[in-house]
Structure 1
Amino acid sequence: MLEIKNKVSGEVIASLELETLAGADLREMDLEAADLRNRDLRGVRFNSSELVDADLSGADLQGATFNNAHMSGASLKDANLIQARFGSNVRANAAVLEGADLTGADLRGADLRNGMFRGANLSGADLSRADMCDADFQEANLSGSVAHDALFIKANLSGAHLRNISAEDCVMRNVNLSGADLSHAVMGGTVMRSADVTNTNFAGVELASVTMDFSNFSKALNADIPSYKQNLR
């Protein structure tokens, strides 16, 4: 028998006839404010579960699925989320992590498509090879994160804090970066075609190897654009 308790009161909110939570089916469960810190949750199915304000910090969630899970305010700080699935090709089936804490989380290869991450803290997270197409990171904090070879196609990063992000060899076609702070970001090899860079701060960003076609950098801030760059409008 395994028990899951409320992180504040210690009250038992779920009792499960299991020897381990790894690989467990926890779909459609009410786990609001659950204490799941440092637990082995590899491959757990949290689809359509309530995880608002839950504490999953330090948990091993490699390969876990969170489709349609409600996780606003949840803590996933320093969690192992390698190849975890939050996303979907339909926004209504993607996870909601508005205001969640993913500081230092390992999200390499994770599926975040169409996910809601508004105001979330992903500072210091590793998003390398993650799929963030159509995800909403408005006003999110990704400062100091690593996102090599990641997909940001049509993602909303308006007003996001991206200072010192290492985002090399990413695909950022049609991304919304309006009002974002990309100062001192490393973006070598990234494709930023048809991006909205209105009032985006590019201070200290080397743009020589960034593909910038059809992005209107005349509306960007502090962008040091090489003279040979073409098709900028």
Structure 2
Amino acid sequence: MTKSTTTLTGETISRPRIEALLADDQLIMLDECDLSGADLSRLDLQDCSFRNCALAEASFYAAKLGRTRWQRCRGGHADFESADLVDARFESCDLNNASWRRAKLASARYRGCKLTGSQFEEVGQLGLTFEDCLLVGADLRRMSFRKATLNCLDFSDADLSGCDFRDAVFENASLRDAHIKDTRFDGADLREADLGGLKLSNAKQFAGATISPRQAAELVRTMGLNVV
């Protein structure tokens, strides 16, 4: 049975308002609504849409958000911890310092998003993709980007400890000052990556990786050697 759709525009949203719509088996579309600080934890919001919404400090803890669509939303410090976001789509959203800890992000996609300072520890990520995103200072420990094409991603100062970038291709990306303890780059194509500030304490991390002559000269200089 197809659900009927209710569109809310320009409203300040509370949990009772959403619960009442869900009780009527409504598919909800929110446009230019204010959910700042709202507690929407554990609600079943699968297939719902959020456009131009304010989500600052809203809680979606353990909510069911599969196949949701998020466009041009602003959600600093929003909480998506333990949420089910399988096949969700985020477009041009500002989600700085949001928490995604232990979220299910299989087949989720972030495109044109600001995710500075966001926390992605222990997420389920099979098929997760980022494109043209700011991940400056984000916590991405132990995530796998193996064989991925990383297009316009800024990992500056991000914690990439234990990440797997084997055979990944970096296109116009930045690793400047990233934390790369136990990170693997075997076979990666790093020629279009900004490697400034990296501390190469273990060259084995980069076994088989491809860099440009300019990058090689810069890395040698960081070791205190002169290139002539």
Alignment TM-score > 0.5, same fold: yes
Contact 1:118 1:137 in 2 (8 A): no
| CA distance 1:140–1:58, change in 2 (3 Å) | farther
| CA distance 1:205–1:126, change in 2 (3 Å) | farther
SS at 2:103's partner residue?
A: coil
- Counterpart residue number, 1:122: 130
Bigger helix fraction: 2
Q: Give the superposition deviation at 1:153.
A: 0.5
- Counterpart residue number, 2:164: 156
Q: Give the superposition deviation at 1:105.
A: 0.6
Contact 1:120 1:141 in 2 (8 A): no
1:197 to 197, 206, 211: 206
Contact 2:191 2:215 in 1 (8 A): no
Whose radius of gyration is greater, 1 or 2?
A: 2
Matches within 5 A, 1:131-146: 131-146=139-154
2:95 to 69, 81, 85: 81
Contact 1:118 1:140 in 2 (8 A): no
Percent identical residues: 22
SS at 1:36's partner residue?
A: strand
Whichever residue aligns with residue 206 of structure 2, its letter is V
Matches within 5 A, 1:1-233: 2=17, 12-13=26-27, 20-87=34-101, 94-194=102-202, 196-203=205-212, 206-210=215-219
Q: Give the superposition deviation at 1:152.
A: 0.4
| CA distance 1:158–1:38, change in 2 (3 Å) | farther
Aligned length: 201
Whichever residue aligns with residue 210 of structure 2, its letter is N
| CA distance 1:24–1:186, change in 2 (3 Å) | same
Q: Give the superposition deviation at 1:179.
A: 4.1
Contact 2:28 2:49 in 1 (8 A): no
When normalised by structure 1's length, the TM-score is 0.73
Q: For the residues of structure 1 that align with 2:121 and 2:174, how far apart are their CA atoms?
A: 20
Q: Give the superposition deviation at 1:206.
A: 0.7
When normalised by structure 2's length, the TM-score is 0.75
Q: Give the superposition deviation at 1:121.
A: 2.7
RMSD: 3.1
Q: Give the superposition deviation at 1:102.
A: 0.8
Q: Give the superposition deviation at 1:26.
A: 1.4
SS at 2:106's partner residue?
A: coil
Q: For the residues of structure 1 that align with 2:72 and 2:213, how far apart are their CA atoms?
A: 34
| CA distance 1:176–1:114, change in 2 (3 Å) | farther
Bigger strand fraction: 2
Q: For the residues of structure 2 that align with 1:191 and 1:31, how far apart are their CA atoms?
A: 44
